[in-house]
């Protein structure tokens, strides 16, 4: 082993908290996004956009993953450990400074969803809406005629017949009113009430995409409400992440969501993200545990003058397969309202099964896992349980780690199973086959998902390193004050003392001991054994402040 390998430790062996401190101190560089774990169609797009916009793949990669997740909707789920069903929707938040190219990357990567939504809305407004309005006017006339006939009815039987006819007309009017709500694939900014209505109008499935989400992020987290009502402000987002039934009752009426499914891609400034990370409610309500948050640390890079004169664009063999993959996922798995089949490229009928009929509610495809993949997931779950038991203040964050890996794995699996073919020489790239719902998820895909999940963990840890350091400093200041007040310079500091005085929010002896050991490794405390009290008992360790350690010796 040479000197360089000794002085530069492998960045992947650090725990997230250790990595954050090492990055903050400049000892190691930030880990690059593991784009090699993405399916080829997403990897090519992420790397192509990164090269085009001169930004790190750590920005374009998470965006491509989020859009791929949004395109699936709730049309496919993964059956994991103990038969638990996991959907593919992800909450991704990417940080960017102004002028670094993040907005351009966002526009390019979300273009297939944006273009499809524009076409759906244009078709709905030009063709479907006029027919619905004509039906409404006709039904309104029929209802007025029924009312007139009811007034003229001479017998109870005639009145009952007219009443039944009117009931049928009013039922048609109600269905007509629901059908007139515009179909959407995604929205940018919504209040909980408006978002619930949009979800209900679109099969309980929607995406939230916003390249400048500072205000919407604050509104979603309830930062403009009084503190007592903040926890409930993002309840809809929590329910829509887990596909749990949710009912919102307002004076205008009740909105019931049976299985809401929301995917999210938000872009905010690092300062906005760090401000919200200081709010403990983000962690305590479990929202942070559902959020894949990252700061790619992109910098402004204009390039050379020759590059500025050029008008670069994505190669067609990068952009077209990506667009085809997103459209295929929409048509075959998501199946949003008002999506007409000619909007996405046709495949050979002999080689590709037709998309399922759109009438009625369809149950999602259930993807099974290979036994080896379940073993990988179980090992990750065991690690998660061990970490959760040892944790004190971040259990809500740790509790979702294995689930997040399973969600990412499902997205990777679907796009890994797609193949592409060009329609003749120089023709358009199309999806040749889409067989992810017919194949089990492999252990390799699960490991790739865990690597991506761990990358997001490391990025979050780096963003909160300063916050954790400040908390440790505050806790140590409290230790110093208590040492003077309770004569700990004589008796030493024990884990029991930290628990009794609620220092550092520790609740167990192991957590308190770990905190004391950390201060000792920093040179803030000195550890030594004390004489045991009682016959036959082992010596007990205690920790002393260096400035008082002499007074504590016996």
pLDDT for 551: 45
Weakly modelled stretches of the chain, pLDDT under 50: 1-13, 223-232, 340-360, 550-554
Q: Which residues contact 291 (CB under 8 A, 6 or more apart)?
A: 91, 92, 93
Under DSSP, the state recorded for 202 is T
| Residues linked to residue 420 through DSSP beta bridges, in sequence order | 431
Neighbours of 432 (CB within 10 A): 17
pLDDT for 423: 81
Dihedral sign for Cα atoms in the order 70, 73, 74, 78: negative
Q: Which of 87, 42, 79 is nearest to 61 (CA)?
A: 42
C-alpha triplet 283, 460, 450: angle, nearest 5°? 100
How, if at all, do strands 253-257 and 186-187 pair?
unpaired
Phi, psi of 253, deg, nearest 5: 140, 180
**Which ranges of 399-442 does DSSP label H, i.e. alpha helix?**
401-416
pLDDT digits (tens, 9 = 90+) for 405-464: 999 999 999 999 999 998 877 788 899 999 999 999 999 999 999 999 999 998 888 887
pLDDT for 226: 45
pLDDT digits (tens, 9 = 90+) for 313-339: 898 999 999 999 999 999 999 988 766
- Helical pair 443-463 and 465-485, crossing angle rounded to 10 deg: 60
Distance separating alpha carbons of residues 264 and 206, to the nearest angstrom: 9
33, 62 contact by CB (below 8 A): yes
- Domain limits, the chain: 30-118+201-463, 123-186, 471-552
Residue 525 structure tokens: 């405390």
Distance separating alpha carbons of residues 187 and 265, to the nearest angstrom: 11
Query: What dotted CATH number matches 30-118+201-463?
Result: 3.40.50
Neighbours of 425 (CB within 10 A): 5
Q: Looking at domain 471-552, does it have CATH number 1.10.10?
A: yes
Residue 504 structure tokens: 């550092």
What three-state secondary structure class fits 550?
helix
Q: Which residues contact 264 (CB under 8 A, 6 or more apart)?
A: 66, 89, 90, 91, 92, 93, 207, 208, 209, 237
């Amino acid at each position: 082993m040479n000197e360089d390998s000794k002085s530069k430790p492998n960045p992947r062996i650090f725990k997230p908290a250790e990595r954050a401190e090492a990055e903050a101190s400049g000892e190691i560089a930030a880990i690059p996004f593991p784009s090699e774990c993405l399916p080829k169609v997403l990897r090519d797009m992420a790397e192509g956009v990164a090269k085009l916009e001169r930004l790190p793949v750590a920005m374009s990669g998470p965006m491509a993953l989020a859009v791929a997740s949004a395109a699936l909707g709730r049309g496919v789920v993964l059956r994991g450990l103990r038969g638990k069903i996991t959907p593919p929707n992800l909450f991704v938040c990417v940080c960017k400074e102004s002028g670094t190219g993040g907005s351009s990357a966002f526009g390019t990567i979300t273009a297939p969803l944006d273009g499809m939504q524009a076409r759906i809305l244009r078709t709905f407004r030009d063709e479907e809406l006029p027919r619905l309005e004509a039906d409404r006017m006709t039904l309104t006339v029929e209802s007025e005629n029924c009312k007139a006939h009811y007034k003229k009815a001479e017998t109870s039987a005639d009145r009952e017949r007219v009443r039944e006819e009117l009931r049928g007309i009013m039922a048609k009017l109600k269905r007509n009113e629901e059908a007139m709500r515009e179909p959407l694939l995604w929205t940018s900014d919504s209040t909980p009430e408006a978002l619930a209505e949009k979800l209900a109008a679109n099969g309980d499935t929607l995406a939230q995409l916003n390249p400048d989400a500072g205000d919407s992020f604050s509104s979603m987290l309830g930062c403009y409400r009084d503190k007592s009502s903040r926890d409930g402000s993002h309840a809809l987002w929590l329910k829509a992440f887990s596909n749990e039934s949710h009912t919102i009752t307002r004076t205008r009426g009740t909105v019931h969501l049976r299985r809401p499914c929301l995917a999210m891609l938000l872009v905010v400034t690092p300062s906005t993200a760090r401000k919200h990370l200081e709010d403990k409610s983000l962690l305590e309500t479990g929202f942070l545990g559902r959020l894949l948050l990252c700061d790619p640390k992109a910098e402004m890079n204009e390039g050379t003058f020759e590059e500025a004169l050029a008008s670069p664009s994505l190669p067609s063999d990068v952009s077209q397969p990506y667009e085809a993959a997103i459209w295929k996922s929409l048509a075959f798995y998501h199946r949003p309202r008002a999506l007409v089949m000619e909007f996405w490229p046709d495949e050979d009928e002999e080689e590709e099964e037709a998309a399922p009929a759109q009438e009625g509610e369809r149950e999602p495809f259930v993807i099974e896992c290979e036994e080896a993949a379940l073993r990988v997931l179980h090992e990750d779950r065991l690690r998660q349980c061990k970490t959760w038991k040892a944790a004190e203040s971040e259990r809500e964050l740790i509790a979702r780690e294995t689930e997040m890996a399973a969600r990412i794995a499902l997205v990777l699996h679907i796009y890994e199973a797609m193949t592409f073919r060009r329609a003749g020489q120089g023709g358009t790239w199309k999806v040749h086959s889409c067989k992810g719902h017919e194949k089990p998820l492999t252990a390799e895909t699960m490991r790739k998902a865990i690597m991506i999940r761990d990358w997001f963990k490391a990025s979050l840890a780096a963003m909160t390193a300063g916050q954790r350091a400040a908390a440790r400093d505050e806790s140590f200041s409290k230790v110093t004050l208590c040492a003077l007040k309770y004569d700990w310079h004589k008796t030493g500091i024990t884990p029991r003392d930290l628990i009794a005085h609620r220092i550092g929010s520790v609740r167990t002896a192991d957590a308190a001991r770990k905190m004391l050991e950390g201060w000792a490794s920093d040179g803030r405390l000195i550890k030594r054994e004390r004489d045991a009290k009682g016959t036959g008992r082992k010596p007990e360790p205690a920790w002393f402040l260096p400035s008082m350690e002499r007074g504590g010796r016996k």
